[in-house]
Amino acid sequence: MKHLLGLGAAAALIFAGSAYAGDYDHDYGNDCYECSDEITIELVGEVECVCEIEFEQPVAFLNLSLIDTFVSGTQNLSVDCNTNDDLNIIFESLNGGLLHEDGVELIPYEILLGGAPVAFAAPVAFDGDEDVSVDVNGNGPLAGMYSDTVTVTVFVD
């Protein structure tokens, strides 16, 4: 009888084991979704604004002949920026005119952007590709070298 009881218990375990195996869900069923978690990851990056300024032939402004009473030089200025924002440009003069090498005389000149006069140190709208002219009124200057340094700054609005 003990033997029969042991055999019955073993058969019950085998049967129960196969029944449990039949209920096991390899597809992870709905029970997996009831026990879950999530996290949100925010991705952020920045691309800095970069502008490149280029004169077509900047040497044209280096050797202005001041023998005549009126001298003009024109060059195309192009700017390439990686932005869709509006561009502005500022021209700043170191001397406020062409200064004689001895510092005794200053010859005024005017910068024109697209044919319109530009005030020094005043920002103006810029479309990114325009002619820049320098008009010099050299009426009766002293002999000698004259120079000025103009800084051109382009920035986004």
Residue 26 forms part of a structural domain: no
Residue 107 forms part of a structural domain: yes
- Provide the CATH number for the domain around residue 144: 2.60.40.1090
pLDDT in tens, 1-23: 444 444 444 444 454 444 445 55
Q: How many CB atoms are located within 10 Å of the residue 61 CB?
A: 15
CA 130 to chain centre: 20
Domain range for 111 is 51-156
pTM metric for this prediction: 0.67
Residue 37 has pLDDT above 80, yes or no: yes
Distance, CA of 79 to CA of 53 (rounded, Å): 5
Q: Sort 82 into a burial class: Cβ within 10 Å, 0-12 / 13-18 / 19+.
A: exposed
Residue 152 forms part of a structural domain: yes
Average pLDDT, rounded, for the chain = 80
Residue 25 forms part of a structural domain: no
User: Would you state the structure tokens that stand for residue 122, as one six-digit string?
Assistant: 């005043």
Residue 19 forms part of a structural domain: no
